Amino acid sequence: MTWTDRWSLFQDNAFMSATMVVGSFIAGATSEGGGAVAFPVMTLVFNIPPAVARDFSLMIQSVGMVAAGASIVLTRIPVVRSCLLPTSGGGALGVVLGLELVAPILPPPFAKMLFTSVWLSFAVALWLINRTADRPTRSSLDAPSAQLRGLLFGAGLLGGVVTSVTGSGLDILTFSLLVLLLRVSEQVATPTSVVLMGVNALVGAAWKGTLGAGLEPMAWDYWWVCVPVVVVGAPLGAQFIRLCSRQFIARLLIASILIQFVAALLIIPQDPVLLGFSVVVFAAGFGGFSLMAWRGRHVLPGTRSTQSNTRTLT
C-alpha cells in the first residue's frame, strides 16, 4: 500500500474494509467463503453491481482464503485430503465455463436470489440432520472409488459454475456433499471447504483477469483496501473454529444464511417472476440436499467412524 501510494483509497472505500473484517473471519471459520458475506452486502446494502461484487469476491478470496488454507495446512488442522484433487479439478472447469457462458446472461436480481435461495435450501437440510445432536459422523475418507471421484468432480463442477455467478459456491456445495451424503464431521468438512474455495477463487480470478473478459476496474479499489484485513482475519477464523464443537459450527452457518436470505427479501424488489425463480431454486436445492441426507443414512464404502479413527488420509 505504501509502495504504490494507495492509502488514500480508504477515504471512499473504508466501508468494504469494515465489511471484510467480518467477512474474512467467517471465510476462515465456516464453509461460506468471504464472498458469501461480500456479495450480499455489496449488492443488497451498497447496491454495487453483481459483476463487480463477483469479481471482488474472487479476487479477495484468492488472498484471504489462500492465507486461511495455508494456516490450516501449516497447523495440521484435519482436512479430507482425498477429495481435494477431484473437487478442485471440477471446480476449475466449472468456474471457467460459468464465467464464459452463464454469468454474462443472468440478470443481476436473479444472480442475487440464486445465491440466497440455494444457501437457504442447504441451511434447512443441515438443520434437519442436526436435530439429533449425537448423530454419527466420520472424519476421513479412504481412497475414493471411481464413482466417488466422479461425484466429487461433479460437485466441484457445479460449485464452480455457482462461484462464477456469485463469487462463492464451491465451498458450500462441497461442504454439503461431505456432511449430508458422506457424513463427514463439520469440524473436518469446514477446513476442507476453505482450502478448496481458496484454490477455486484463485483459478477464477486468474482466468477472468487474463484469458477472460478482464476484472471489473471498480473491484480493484475495493480489493486494495481489504487485502490488509483478510490476510489476518481469515487465518484467525480458521484457528478459532478448530476449538468449536460440530454443533456450534452448524448453528453459525445456519444463522448467517438465514440473515442473508431475510435481507435479500427486504432489499431486493420482488415480482412474481423473481419470486417464482427463488421458489424453484429453493425447491431444487432442497430436493438435492435432502436426497444427499437420505442417502447419507446408509454406510458408504470408503468411510470410517470418527469414534474409531480421527486421522485424515493422504
Task: Determine, yes or no, domain membership for 312.
Answer: no
Task: Determine, yes or no, domain membership for 214.
Answer: yes
pLDDT at 36: 67
Task: Determine, yes or no, domain membership for 6.
Answer: no
Pairwise CA distance, residues 55 & 278, whole Å: 23
Counting as low any pLDDT under 70, the low residues of the chain are 31, 33-36, 132-135, 246, 298-314
Task: Determine, yes or no, domain membership for 196.
Answer: yes
Number of Cβ within 10 Å of residue 183's Cβ equals 24
Task: Determine, yes or no, domain membership for 314.
Answer: no
Q: Which residues are registered as beta bridge partners of 138?
A: 184, 305
pTM strictly above 0.85: no
Pairwise CA distance, residues 242 & 249, whole Å: 10
Task: Output the nine-digit C-alpha cell for 173.
Answer: 456445495
pLDDT at 247: 76
Task: Determine, yes or no, domain membership for 238.
Answer: yes
The total number of structural domains in the chain stands at: 1
pLDDT at 238: 84
pLDDT at 133: 62
Task: Determine, yes or no, domain membership for 285.
Answer: yes
pLDDT at 127: 84
pLDDT at 203: 93
Pairwise CA distance, residues 242 & 72, whole Å: 10
pLDDT at 202: 92
Contact 9, 220 (CB under 8 A): no
Domain carrying residue 257: 13-300
